[in-house]
Amino acid sequence: MLNELGHFALILAFAVALVQSSVPLIGAQKGWAGWMAVGEPAASAQFLLIAFSFGALTWAFVTSDFSLQLVFSNSHTDKPMLYKISGVWGNHEGSMLLWVLILAAFGASAAWFGSALPPRLRARVLSVQAMIGAAFLGFIIFTSNPFLRLVSPPFNGQDLNPLLQDPGLAFHPPFLYLGYVGLSMAFSFAVAALIEGRVDAAWARWVRPWTLAAWMFLTIGIALGSWWAYYELGWGGFWFWDPVENASFMPWLLAAALLHSSIVVEKREALKSWTVLLAILAFGFSLIGTFIVRSGVITSVHSFASDPQRGLFILAILAIFVGGALTLYAARAGAMQAKGVFGMVSRESALVLNNILLAVAALVVFVGTVWPLVAELFWARKLSVGAPFFEKAFTPFMLALAIALPIGAVMPWKRASFARALRPLWAAAVLALAVVALTWAVGTNRSTVALVGAGLGSWLVFGALAELWLRAAHRPMRLARLPRADWGKAFAHGGLGITFIGIGLLTAWQSEDIRVAQIGQPFTVSGYEITLDAVDQVPGPNFRSSTATMTVRQGGKLVATLYPEKRVYPVQGMPTTEAAIDNGIWRDVYLVVGDPQTGGGWAVRTYIKPFANWIWAGAILMALGGLLSLTDRRYRVAAGARKALPLQAAPAE
């Protein structure tokens, strides 16, 4: 019964979305206040209906209602509760439902917190947001209904893919969707502004928080996925340049570019049409990502629902929204007059460089991702583009970005000089060079990757600190009173530096050992003495495990006792490895146990991974930087300030 209600609520939400996507839009065009006002209650209603539908599906998973096809295919009564819940979005239909739930939540929050927005703009934003909602609700109802019943409910389910039964992965998709879908707000604002033919500082101030939030969630989502791959897949890789990873990385790069260009619009009223274009493209790449994951046109480890019909539907959505927005852009972009004037050397120009590097890097990732498809379509060649290509083609852009970033960040607006911008940074440069020297001295191999990664990373970190010191006018007391946006900037830029250091040193210095370990016989890897003490058969809730007990010693002192596992999930008939990791600031000791060998002993792989955790620590700092910027005073008080002067005419300059 509840399932049918959930299904019905979804159809009602579709109807509400259709109303919301037309009535306020017409109202805004004709100036009818009553029609414009429909947007707000409709957005709330749409959100509540989808939330009810999502709740109904979650309930079906929690109670293991196997009369639902979806629950039967993705759940099992023995599965722990956390994974019963995360199983709701561990499949195509449920994850699409989560997608539209988040979409509606963003739309509803624009309705709830956007009371200070000009009513016309708000009506148009809500309409565009509802158009996206209607398109995806239609997609779910017509091609991917999660509420399909089975005629005769089976006794138990088929369980969730064991790789997905993991806390890291339970929360990876929701964050990623919050990011993808958050960019829809920037898109809706951009389209509304194009319809209006007006982009100004106030518009940028409205768009930026949504973009910041989306970027922050994307950062967390990508980091969670990378961290999960690191500990779960059993060889400690953190990024594979898989098409689906790329699909989340391209919107991230463009969202980062959009964040920076919207600062220029907000502070200087320049780069307006470029910013609008970026907002369209960033969400466009989210849709492309959705298409890549769900259509199966590009083979990937992740594509969990490959279906040509669904692919076609999403391709149509993509074509209509991105094509429509770009057409509108072509017609209206000329109307946006830039105001701010700036010199060739200035903060504005530095941000243009940032945008060029990020956008071209995203283009490289895009071309590399679709190249196998293009080559097969036009030249009938079956080829692959993987990590070795991306590492060579993508990295130079990030290196250039890292070199320029601290300099651009301290440049003043309008007009600057290199010499003056470099002055507060010389200490940072000296410290970064010292880190390079230290890396050279400490490193076991003279790897350039280590030197470049550590050097540029510390240049970013010290550069961020030097900038804070500069903004506080060299007085420690003032640091606490700096605007949160300044702190957010320092955290985000410093976090990027930490990630650089982690990637550089891990890539250059990691060591690996593969061997047959006999029980009780110690072996040595990079100064660590490792012993396989025992291997026991342990039953789990929905799996069987061979758990090894291994001790790690250094200089005779016990460092850690680790329990790597090999699990077999009988329902799916799938084995997984559970690596055991001794986490540390300077290194991870990473142990994997394999199969028993015919001559006795077990296959064991040992990795020493220096600075691994810095990669994700940097990502956390970046996300924290986003959060700090998001809570900056100017966003908190902006709404109130605008309410105080509701009838502000064109600024009298």
Partner 1 sequence: MLKPLLLSLALLATPQLAAPLWAVQPDEVLSDPVLEARARELGKVLRCPVCQGENIDESNATISRDLRLVVRERLVAGDADWQVLDYITARYGEYVLFEPEARGVNLILYLTGPVALLLALGGATVFLRRRRKGDAAAPKLDDAEARRVAEILQE
Residues that bind partner 1 (CB under 8 A): 233-235, 237, 240, 242-243, 299-301, 303, 338, 341-344, 349, 352-353, 356-357, 359-361, 363-364, 367-368, 371, 375, 378-379, 381-389, 392-394, 396-397, 514-516, 575, 577, 592, 594-595, 597, 603, 605
Q: How far is the CB of 546 from partner 1 (least distance, A)?
A: 11
> What gap in Å lies between CA 11 and CA 360, rounded to an integer?
41
> With 0-12 CB in 10 A as exposed, 13-18 as middle and 19+ as buried, what is 483?
middle
Does residue 144 contact residue 94 with C-beta atoms inside 8 Å? no
User: Closer CB to partner 1, residue 117 or residue 351?
Assistant: 351
Among all chains, which residue has been given the structure tokens 């008080």?
637
> What gap in Å lies between CA 158 and CA 609, rounded to an integer?
37
Q: How far is the CB of 600 from partner 1 (least distance, A)?
A: 12
Q: How far is the CB of 401 from partner 1 (least distance, A)?
A: 12
**Sign of the dihedral through C-alpha 601, 605, 608, 613:** negative
Q: How far is the CB of 232 from partner 1 (least distance, A)?
A: 13
DSSP state of 597: P
Crossing angle for the helix pair 201-232 and 612-630, nearest 10 degrees? 160
Q: How far is the CB of 240 from partner 1 (least distance, A)?
A: 7
User: Closer CB to partner 1, residue 507 or residue 551?
Assistant: 507
> What gap in Å lies between CA 460 and CA 331, rounded to an integer?
41
Q: How far is the CB of 608 from partner 1 (least distance, A)?
A: 16
User: Closer CB to partner 1, residue 340 or residue 584?
Assistant: 340
User: Closer CB to partner 1, residue 390 or residue 487?
Assistant: 390
Does residue 551 contact residue 561 with C-beta atoms inside 8 Å? yes
Does residue 609 contact residue 582 with C-beta atoms inside 8 Å? no
> What gap in Å lies between CA 460 and CA 398, rounded to an integer?
12
Closest residue by Cα to residue 332 from 194, 191, 186: 194
Closest residue by Cα to residue 132 from 309, 325, 372: 325
Q: How far is the CB of 382 from partner 1 (least distance, A)?
A: 5
Amino acid at 31: G
> With 0-12 CB in 10 A as exposed, 13-18 as middle and 19+ as buried, what is 577?
middle
User: Closer CB to partner 1, residue 36 or residue 352?
Assistant: 352
Q: How far is the CB of 49 from partner 1 (least distance, A)?
A: 37
SS3 readout for 403-462: HHHHHHHHCCCCCCCHHHHHHHHHHHHHHHHHHHHHHHHHCCCCCHHHHHHHHHHHHHHH
User: Closer CB to partner 1, residue 85 or residue 571?
Assistant: 571
Does residue 496 contact residue 622 with C-beta atoms inside 8 Å? yes
Q: How far is the CB of 80 from partner 1 (least distance, A)?
A: 24
User: Closer CB to partner 1, residue 79 or residue 605?
Assistant: 605
User: Closer CB to partner 1, residue 242 or residue 632?
Assistant: 242
Q: How far is the CB of 338 from partner 1 (least distance, A)?
A: 8
User: Closer CB to partner 1, residue 320 or residue 374?
Assistant: 374
Contacts of 99 (CB under 8 A, 6+ apart): 136, 177, 180, 181, 290
User: Closer CB to partner 1, residue 364 or residue 612?
Assistant: 364
Q: Which two tokens stand for residue 326?
A: 């770009």
Angle at the Cα of 215 from the Cα atoms of 209 and 218, rounded to 5 degrees: 140
User: Closer CB to partner 1, residue 47 or residue 342?
Assistant: 342
DSSP state of 117: S
Q: How far is the CB of 604 from partner 1 (least distance, A)?
A: 8
Contacts of 47 (CB under 8 A, 6+ apart): 101, 104, 105, 107, 108
User: Closer CB to partner 1, residue 87 or residue 594?
Assistant: 594
User: Closer CB to partner 1, residue 4 or residue 391?
Assistant: 391
Q: How far is the CB of 610 from partner 1 (least distance, A)?
A: 18
Cα 216 versus chain centre, distance: 7
First to last CA, the chain: 63
Closest residue by Cα to residue 569 from 85, 62, 86, 163: 163
Q: How far is the CB of 388 from partner 1 (least distance, A)?
A: 4
Q: How far is the CB of 7 from partner 1 (least distance, A)?
A: 33
User: Closer CB to partner 1, residue 1 or residue 383?
Assistant: 383
Does residue 221 contact residue 172 with C-beta atoms inside 8 Å? yes
Does residue 297 contact residue 307 with C-beta atoms inside 8 Å? no
